Amino acid sequence: MGGHGRRRGSRKGGELRVASVVPDLPTFAVDEGFRYAATEQVAIGMVVRVPLGRRTVRGWVVAVEDDDITGLKPVGAVSSPTPIFDRHLLQTLRWAASYYVAPLAAVLPRAGPPNLPPSASSPPPATNAAARARAVYSIVGREAPQEVADAVSPVLEAGNSVMVILPTASEVAVQADLLRGIHGVRVLEVPPQAPQREVTAVWSEMTARPGRVVVGTHRIAFWPVAGLHLAVLVEEGRRAMKDRQTPTVHAREVIRRRAGVERFSVLYVGSVPSTSVLALGIELRRRSTRAWPPVEVIDRRADPGGFLADRTRAAIRGVLAKDGRVFVFTHRHGYAPAYRCVACKTLRRCPSCGSRPEPGETCTRCGADLGPCTSCGGRRFEALGAGVGRITEVLRQTFGEKAGPAGGDTPIWVGTERDIPRLERISLGVVVDADGLILGSAYNAGEESLRVFARLANAIPFGHGRHLMLQTSMPDHPVVSALKSGDPVPYLEEELESRRDLGLPPAGEVIVLEVSGGSKDPRAVLQQSIGDSATMFGPAERGGKLRWLIQGRDLSRTRQLMRGAVGRLREGGATVRVDVDPLDL
């Protein structure tokens, strides 16, 4: 302490530089990094090799300072002189490690390319701050790719760079094609399945020269980009924007943090903003009166039964007569249908929490006894939806061989959420059982279902009576009303209000912790370390794993405590999965 004068005064030709290096070991124990003697050449963000015990390991330089090198081993070799992060980006990387309860070594490589970065002829230019960094959400439907293109052009023309993040590979391809038509070689696409060599080449191009637009999935969220002035996030609320594996990083959260530190603007584009965006108070901008094409609501309480209402069958027949194509949307694997009382047609809902019950006699969300029909006491229930196979069978009873899987050559396609990206030339969309999705047992089922149905409606081009038919027994449900109106915001605001009351995300925080194997008793370890810093539910046992749900208004202290607990459990050989802000509860 207090040695600054001495260090500066005695420094000669770089002999007294100390580099802190985080070795590439997936453990919290090396988060602080180790100190090595370094030459002038070593800089923050470089990939180096360092001696550690009796081995030599790869590591990342997280700090360089003038200090006493007595007793320090030298950095072994510089693996690549091109830094993968600077101190601003490191700030966001550190935030992510802490927020997602991950070792720093698990987060740092995300800033770099899959292979070692090739040597740059010149160091990457420093990011010059945008004149006015701001964040806006533009609510658009099918015109999203054009909206993105309109935002990209002025930034490129000024010689600065843009990063565009989309949920899936097919959306990346569509957006990149549109941009290439306007900006040619200044568009750099990162197909998620591209060979590592190719991705590494794009990374170098992006970090070396400003005036480019990089288009990719959430994997590029940590990339250092020369002259970055704008990040565009398309449909930030979609599940694909978040990593499934630990650390469960969400692209929106990374970009939001980076924008604050690096001072660039963020444009969100999509038809259904997340409640997280609303909670942040981000300015909403509407491009048209409707965020998706018209939605017709078919009230299932009025028809005799079966999977398709008479009105729906008639509409399908009408489209087939005009050689049009129909997409029938139904349940994907893992989604349970809604049931109704055979006698009085009342939808079966948990009498305690209102969610749609899974098969069985108790509610999977709240554990309440489901009992008979709340309206007439009836005990027989019929499913309102089914999987693709069963719905195809039912359609074939009426329409013969005209029904088949999505993407095939039949005029009626049957499919699930997974098929939405491949929908082409659809005249009519049919949702067999909207209630099964709307009333799902997850706390955010309503918001998620609105997003799925809006996407589906947007896959059908406007005009000529094309529309989406939604079969439901709840025509007055807020999600259904939102779909009819074409405006998601009033529903989402109401939803955010109720999450605030319940302390659920985005108004509160939730972390799911799953532990399997290991020599230590996770119950004891967690109790000791996390203790009463948060509300813990569990453990529930599922497939040999113990699962806890940790909830609180603010879990920042719990996160710190969890690092110790998770570290100890992993040292004992346990497999630990930490899911921060889980999408399914």
Helix or strand (DSSP H, E) at 229: strand 228-234
Closest CA to 90 of 65, 112, 66, 120: 112
The residue among 92 and 473 lying less far from Zn ion, judged by its C-beta, is 473
Which CB atom, from 126 or from 540, has the smaller least distance to Zn ion? 540
Which residues, 6 or more positions from 573, have their beta carbon under 8 angstroms from its beta carbon? Answer: 517, 518, 519
Q: Pick between residue 361 and residue 541 the one whose CB is nearest to Zn ion.
A: 361
- Terminal alpha carbon distance of the chain: 49
CB neighbours (10 Å) of residue 456?
24
Neighbours of 180 (CB within 10 A): 16
When the beta carbons of 352 and 528 are compared against Zn ion, the nearer one is 352
Chain positions 86 to 115 lying near Zn ion, rule: CB under 5 A, are: none
Specify the residue, 229 or 348, whose C-beta has the smaller distance to Zn ion: 348
- Asked if 129 touches Zn ion (CB under 5 A), the answer is no
Stretch of residues binding Zn ion (CB under 5 A), selected from 187-195, 197-205, 376-384, 557-565 = 376-384
Nearest alpha-carbon partner for 407 in 142, 217, 170: 170
Q: What is residue 558's three-state secondary structure?
A: helix
User: Whose CA is closest to 297, among 484, 506, 43, 130?
Assistant: 484
Task: Fill in the per-residue mask, 378 to 407: x = in contact with Zn ion (CB under 5 A), - = not in contact.
Answer: x-----------------------------
- Is residue 162 a contact residue for Zn ion (CB under 5 A)? no
Give the shortest CB-367-to-Zn ion separation in angstroms.
7
Rounded to the nearest whole angstrom, what is the least distance from the CB of residue 88 to Zn ion in the complex?
47
Q: By CB under 5 A, is residue 439 in contact with Zn ion?
A: no
Burial level of 257, CB count in 10 A (0-12/13-18/19+)? Answer: middle
CB of 360 to Zn ion, least distance (A): 12
Shortest distance (Å) from residue 394 CB to Zn ion: 24
Type and span of the H or E element at 79: strand 77-80
- Min CB(443)–Zn ion separation in Å: 12
Q: Considering the complex, state which of residue 348 and residue 455 has its C-beta at the smaller distance from Zn ion.
A: 348
Query: Of 449 and 473, which CB lies nearer to Zn ion in the complex structure?
Result: 473
CB of 307 to Zn ion, least distance (A): 19
For 425, the enclosing helix (H) or strand (E) is: none
Residue number, 129 or 366, with CB nearest to Zn ion: 366
For residue 370, the minimal CB distance to Zn ion (Å) is 8
Shortest Å distance, C-beta 410 to Zn ion: 37
**331 forms bridges with which residues in the sheet?**
387
Binding map of Zn ion across residues 292-331, x = CB under 5 A, - = no contact: ----------------------------------------
Which CB, 472 or 473, lies closer to Zn ion?
Answer: 473
- The footprint of Zn ion on residues 242-261 (CB under 5 A) is none
Applying CB under 5 A, the site for Zn ion has a residue count of 15
What are 512's strand-pairing partners?
A: 549, 579
**Closest among 328, 444, 456, 318 to 385, alpha carbons compared:** 328
CB 356, min distance to Zn ion, A: 9
Please list the alpha-helical segments (H only) found in 459-555: 478-485, 489-502, 522-529
Q: Least distance (Å) from Zn ion to the CB of residue 465?
A: 36
- Give the amino acid at 197: R
Which residues, 334 to 373, sit near Zn ion by CB under 5 A? 341, 343-344, 346, 350, 352-353, 363, 365-366, 368, 373
Provide the minimum distance between the beta carbon of 379 and Zn ion in the complex, in angstroms, as a whole number.
9
- CA 454 – CA 456 distance, rounded (Å): 5
* Closest to 229 in 3D by CA, of 203, 192, 267: 267
C-alpha distances (whole Å) from 5 to each of 10, 13, 64, 70, 83 are 8, 17, 17, 17, 29
Would you tell me which residues interact with Zn ion (CB under 5 A)? 341, 343-344, 346, 350, 352-353, 363, 365-366, 368, 373, 375-376, 378
